[in-house]
Structure 1
Amino acid sequence: MNLAALGTSAGINVAVCVVVFSLYSILRKQPSQVTVYFGRRLSTDTRKSNKLCLDRFVPSASWIVKAWKTTEDELLTTGGLDSVVFMRIIVFSLRIFSIAAITCVFIVLPVNYRGKVLGHKRIPLETLEVFTILNVQEGSKWLWTHCLALYVITFSACVLLYVEYKRITKMRLAHINGSPLNPSHFTVVVRAIPWSPEESYGDSVRKFFMKYHESSYLSHQMVYRSGRVQKLMSNARKMCKILKDVSIEQKHKPGLYHCGFCGAHSDSFKILSHESESARGKSFLIDDGYGGKRKKVCAAAFVFFKTRYAAVVTSQVLHSSNPMQWVTQLAPEPHDVYWSNLWIPYGQLWIRKIATLVAAVAFMLVFLLPVTIVQGMTHADKLQKTIPFLEGPLKRKFISQLLTGYLPSVVLIVAFYTVPPIMMLISTLEGSISRSGRKKSACFKILYFTIWNVFVMNVFTGTVMDTVGIINKLDSVKDLPAQLASAIPAQAKFFMTYVLSSGWAGLACELMQLYPLLCNFIRRYIFRMKDWAIGTMSFPYHTEIPRLLLFGFIGFTCSIMVPLILPFLLVYFTLAYFIYRNQMINVYIRKYETGGHFWPLVHNTVIFSLVMMQIIALGVFGLRQSPVSSGFTIPLVIFTFLFNQYCRQRFLPVFKNHVAEILIDMDREDEKYGRTEEIHQQLHAAYCQSPSTSPDSSMAGSYHHQEEDSIQDPENVTPGKEVSQVSPSWSIASTFGAPEAI
């Protein structure tokens, strides 16, 4: 691929982004699309107006301006600490790759271009290999510029990482200190309760904690496994709720069914809605009278303590000489509890973890097939001798550029759409008792799955494709390590097109919300329904954090090898800054809070990326026969490991454990102001397990329905002023009911 072809690909993606952004700026102003682009705002804003103006049909950049003007404090109030941490990832990436772009584009790139004494073509016709480190002569004295850039990038990244880690640690401590009413601070989950034929699980829990924690034990609540009858009743309530919402819509159109194709009158929805109200009242009586027969007590319980400090100490102590009994840990937030996994026997967890690890590895191996197909498309021009039928189509310039440049990244992107749901399923089977833990596990799996398949396996299979013509020669076997070391610069065109297709186009799809937009179109224009019981969405951290970190990994490893990729990455992170900030303000709602638990994963991935960059540079310097550059790179690797170890000692414990002095001060403050009794009375209701408090009926995800035509320009709502109506995940008012479904 030459610069002209790369420019064409970039131009296509720029045009697509401009069209999508313009279309989005129009669609977001239409009352019919307000449920798609202002889901979070609709849950808090109830102002009404019937306003029609020409400005609704004119593209504008007002959403970019509002995203830019939104302060970090407003974002913290709106989306919680997790959203701020996510945006800090983007800010960190923008800063470090700005430094890398200035260093590499103005120092390293000219050295790469003038590396070999060859007659250069016109710039647009130059191949991308001319701008990589492969174009530098062996033993060249100018390789010190690459080593200098390596030092600049490494030290800048470490300084910025330290600043961000310190800042986020302070924000996490402030978050804990500023949430005095979090019921999870007083609650411990006890699992693997030993079975006794003489007494029930509840009696065993009461006796055990009264004996060993008499001064701090408050009460407990057993975990029940719901039977089929209760599940059917819960599903029936959901269906009645949907039918009731539809019946409200039918009042405006009594002569039409909701499909819009028939003209007969029907009052069935109205009848069902009244029946649902009566059924709802009866269901509670049934549960009260016969609930004990339809529920099975599990060997797990929520144990409540009088103080936060007592709960933390109890959660970290080994309670039995058998570590597989009386296992304790701090409880997740009420909306964060994943009730289904609380029923899993504790003894099965280690088997589940091994099984899910094997399943994840097997899926990674199966995914080699689409990766091989992608690399086969990328190297189709080199495989046409082996596969004769490719010679005809590849003679056409447009088809050749499309097949080898644009389509491979598109095919890989489409294949990757199967990864998040499968990894989420695997993480669910792993047995995490919290939704945030399940997301964090899925985030970890998706991250290393994408790094392995997008980077490592593409480099490896690309090298195999490059050597397919000479692999049968005996002399080529000893050259294989050299070809592997030079494979990353050789894959420059694939990584650049991947950033363009997956990065730029992926952000455009995120902004447009294609799936909700399609559902809304079908709902309004096919089923002819103006309103529907759709719930607001929580931010998909488990898919978006791996995406950001993958592009950061590619940026670090390719920075001194292929400096041309850095401007494309800067554009990606700039777009990400505005788009994700806009989505957090308008679309996604906070359903629970992890307190920034994703940041250690981000830190570890950046350190891993830096070490990989240094190791790859060390190998390339060896191939380029530059012992001085290789010698100066080794201390850099040692420094990076030492820096990582310091951060692990200095900051990581705050993310793993609670600070005793903060919890004790909070307990004393509650006692001073007389809030202790009020908190104790609310703990049982916080973790109430009942079909009536199913995930779909939780307060955090409740949706205030209203006519879309009556929304008054949702853009004008200030994020920081409206959020007071949203129940924070830590407040006592939001703890009634079971957690949100994700």
Structure 2
Amino acid sequence: MIVSALATAVGVNLGLTVLLVSAYSLLRRRPPFVSVYAPRRPYAPLESWLAAAWRRSEDDIHAAAGLDGVVFVRIFVFSIRLFAVVAVVGVGVLMPINFMGDQLRLIDFTDLPSKSVDVLSISNVQDGSNKLWLHFSAVYIITGVACYLLYYEYRYISDKRLEYFMTSKPLPQYFTVLVRAIPITDGGSVSDAVDKFFKEYHSSTYLSHTVVHQTGKLRRLLNETEIMWRKLKNLKYVPHRPSTDNPPKKFLGLFGRNNPGKYQKRLEDLEENVRMEQSDATRRREIPAAFVSFKSRYASANAIYIRQSDNPTEWQTEHAPDPHDVYWPSFSTSFMERWISKFVVFVASVLLIIVFLLVVGFIQGLTYMDQLEAWLPFLRNILEIAIVSQLVTGYLPSVILHFLSSYVPSIMKLFSTMQGFVSVNGIERSACNKMLRFTIWTVFFANVLTGSVLNQLNIFLDPKEIPERLAVVVPARHLSLLHMW
């Protein structure tokens, strides 16, 4: 990639950013969007809104979004602090030193836009030059700053978490354990098995239990009720709605107005069906899972971290999820089903990474004009146009990769759902771990190796050469890698 292509990509991204911010600033003031953006201040200028958001303290964030919101904001604070140091060291010190090197070629300032971005990397520093010590020192400085910031943020968040637990009231889930894979004897019930087991082995700390029943119909009714309630709420807050008892109906479901009375009647019917289904829930089929409550947190912790049976596939205990965080469909899965699902998800994740590696390998070749002309010789005349070559090598790869990558989180969340987690938080955490591994493989190894060693695949025949090859390739590819992702 040449400097002009990189500058073109940066210019396009900045232009799109300004365009989207301007569109948001204008559209948020229009009547149709009043209920979405600041309904009480629809005509407030964008600048004052940004200033008010910037002045919010952590106490305000904690009151509005809880401890999770504070931790989420601290992630951005940590990133800004770290990358500020990296920007000062990299742009202010290392980049000028790399630019003044002569390892690749003598720098011609009059023809800078046509130079490769490699002149800004460590590849342009003379072998054995004392300037390399500046790079080594920069690595140690950035690593030290990163470790200190991580330690500071970890201590800060830990103190906040302890403060939250000390000041908050004890909640039922703190004393409750989820027990799965409950063995049932012939003619017995899940409730009797749980009561007998915990009265025998935890007689002094056992309090009560609640067996999970199969309530798929109830969950569907609750989901439909929530959707209908949101529709009715949005209809009530639509501005400038004429007050009439017979609003015009929609034509083909596209034009006209919705009737709030129809949604209100449907919501009342759903609420009645939910109450009837809840009254019959205890008579539904029992699932071999139960919420067991203890008299103290210490007793519940012992039940979680101590194996309850010689058979590891029975009497499995884990933390009880929060009431609003439960994912009910996973309760009916058995131990073997969860184990098989984990294996299938692992294989599917590996296949997804392999497929994405092939795609990245092709897209990465777009940053090399000579390789692109070799692959597609019939486009050589078009690629010789300056603006076209700059867009293809500098902007098109990042657009394609970001477009394809936008579907990966949903796929990873689907994989995590298949693994049998009983909480939405567990599903999201597992999906984040999968995304981290996916990013490491596709962003780092794929971008580095497929772009620079496309014609040297024989290095994989000798794994001992991979570390040496990475040491040579990474410095030459880091600018393009950061730009594309």
Distance (Å, rounded) in 1 between the aligned partners of 2:160 and 2:231 = 44
Matched, 1:305 2:294: yes
Question: CA 1:203/1:359 → structure 2, altered by over 3 Å: closer, same or farther?
Answer: same
* Structure 2 letter corresponding to 1:277: E
Distance (Å, rounded) in 2 between the aligned partners of 1:261 and 1:333 = 39
Matched, 1:277 2:263: no
Residue from 335, 342, 361 that aligns with 1:346: 335
Distance (Å, rounded) in 2 between the aligned partners of 1:243 and 1:67 = 29
For the residue of structure 2 that corresponds to 1:166, the secondary structure is: helix
Question: CA 1:224/1:83 → structure 2, altered by over 3 Å: closer, same or farther?
Answer: same
User: In the TM superposition, what is the alpha-carbon distance from 1:488 to its structure 2 partner?
Assistant: 2.4
1:32 alignment counterpart: 32
Residue from 129, 147, 156 that aligns with 2:145: 156
Whether the 8 Å contact between 1:243 and 1:273 is mirrored in structure 2 is: no
Distance (Å, rounded) in 1 between the aligned partners of 2:13 and 2:355 = 30
For the residue of structure 2 that corresponds to 1:139, the secondary structure is: coil
Distance (Å, rounded) in 1 between the aligned partners of 2:200 and 2:207 = 12
Matched, 1:97 2:83: yes
How is 1:541-620 mapped onto 2 (pairs within 5 angstroms)? none
Residue from 122, 127, 132 that aligns with 2:109: 122
Cα deviations by residue, 1:122-172 (Å, 9 ceiling, x for unpaired): 174343111111111112122111111111111111111111111111111
Whether the 8 Å contact between 1:463 and 1:483 is mirrored in structure 2 is: no
Cα deviations by residue, 1:99-125 (Å, 9 ceiling, x for unpaired): 222223333223212222753211743
Identity of aligned residues (%): 38
Whether the 8 Å contact between 1:186 and 1:306 is mirrored in structure 2 is: yes
Distance (Å, rounded) in 2 between the aligned partners of 1:101 and 1:262 = 51
Cα deviations by residue, 1:76-111 (Å, 9 ceiling, x for unpaired): 222222222222222222222222222233332232
What TM-score do the two structures reach when normalised by structure 2? 0.87
- Unpaired stretches in structure 1, ≥5 consecutive residues: 43-47, 473-477, 500-742
How is 1:31-50 mapped onto 2 (pairs within 5 angstroms)? 31-37=31-37
For the residue of structure 2 that corresponds to 1:367, the secondary structure is: helix
Question: CA 1:250/1:194 → structure 2, altered by over 3 Å: closer, same or farther?
Answer: farther
Cα deviations by residue, 1:423-469 (Å, 9 ceiling, x for unpaired): 0000011111111111000011112212211221011111233x37x
Distance (Å, rounded) in 2 between the aligned partners of 1:301 and 1:109 = 61
Distance (Å, rounded) in 2 between the aligned partners of 1:209 and 1:91 = 47
* Aligned length, in residue pairs: 474
Distance (Å, rounded) in 1 between the aligned partners of 2:198 and 2:136 = 61
Distance (Å, rounded) in 2 between the aligned partners of 1:193 and 1:326 = 5
Matched, 1:336 2:336: no
Distance (Å, rounded) in 2 between the aligned partners of 1:262 and 1:107 = 60
1:204 alignment counterpart: 193
1:488 alignment counterpart: 474
Distance (Å, rounded) in 2 between the aligned partners of 1:231 and 1:186 = 25
Question: CA 1:253/1:62 → structure 2, altered by over 3 Å: closer, same or farther?
Answer: farther
Question: CA 1:101/1:207 → structure 2, altered by over 3 Å: closer, same or farther?
Answer: same
Whether the 8 Å contact between 2:121 and 2:479 is mirrored in structure 1 is: no
Residue from 207, 210, 219 that aligns with 1:218: 207
Cα deviations by residue, 1:164-204 (Å, 9 ceiling, x for unpaired): 11111111111222222322101110111111113211011
Matched, 1:7 2:7: yes
* Structure 2 letter corresponding to 1:174: E
- Unpaired stretches in structure 2, ≥5 consecutive residues: 459-463
Whether the 8 Å contact between 1:254 and 1:266 is mirrored in structure 2 is: no
2:461 alignment counterpart: none
Distance (Å, rounded) in 2 between the aligned partners of 1:246 and 1:94 = 37
Question: CA 1:300/1:495 → structure 2, altered by over 3 Å: closer, same or farther?
Answer: same
User: In the TM superposition, what is the alpha-carbon distance from 1:421 to its structure 2 partner?
Assistant: 0.9
1:669 alignment counterpart: none
User: In the TM superposition, what is the alpha-carbon distance from 1:266 to its structure 2 partner?
Assistant: 11
2:134 alignment counterpart: 145
How is 1:680-691 mapped onto 2 (pairs within 5 angstroms)? none
How is 1:322-401 mapped onto 2 (pairs within 5 angstroms)? 322-401=311-390
Whether the 8 Å contact between 2:248 and 2:256 is mirrored in structure 1 is: yes
Matched, 1:63 2:37: no
For the residue of structure 1 that corresponds to 2:128, the secondary structure is: coil
How is 1:504-543 mapped onto 2 (pairs within 5 angstroms)? none
Distance (Å, rounded) in 2 between the aligned partners of 1:457 and 1:265 = 52
Residue from 426, 432, 451 that aligns with 2:415: 426
Whether the 8 Å contact between 2:2 and 2:117 is mirrored in structure 1 is: yes
User: Greater relative contact order (Cα 8 A, min sep 6): structure 1 or 2?
Assistant: 1
**Considering only aligned residues, what root-mean-square deviation do their CA atoms show, in Å?**
3.3
What TM-score do the two structures reach when normalised by structure 1? 0.58
Residue from 105, 109, 121 that aligns with 2:95: 109
User: In the TM superposition, what is the alpha-carbon distance from 1:265 to its structure 2 partner?
Assistant: 11
Residue from 406, 416, 429 that aligns with 2:405: 416
For the residue of structure 2 that corresponds to 1:188, the secondary structure is: strand
2:120 alignment counterpart: 131
Whether the 8 Å contact between 1:75 and 1:83 is mirrored in structure 2 is: yes
User: In the TM superposition, what is the alpha-carbon distance from 1:348 to its structure 2 partner?
Assistant: 2.8
2:68 alignment counterpart: 82
Whether the 8 Å contact between 2:180 and 2:289 is mirrored in structure 1 is: yes
For the residue of structure 2 that corresponds to 1:329, the secondary structure is: strand
Distance (Å, rounded) in 1 between the aligned partners of 2:20 and 2:174 = 45
Cα deviations by residue, 1:241-267 (Å, 9 ceiling, x for unpaired): 578669978964724114598999998
Distance (Å, rounded) in 2 between the aligned partners of 1:433 and 1:321 = 24
User: In the TM superposition, what is the alpha-carbon distance from 1:324 to its structure 2 partner?
Assistant: 2.1
Whether the 8 Å contact between 1:250 and 1:256 is mirrored in structure 2 is: no
Whether the 8 Å contact between 2:218 and 2:277 is mirrored in structure 1 is: no
Question: CA 1:278/1:120 → structure 2, altered by over 3 Å: closer, same or farther?
Answer: closer
For the residue of structure 2 that corresponds to 1:362, the secondary structure is: helix
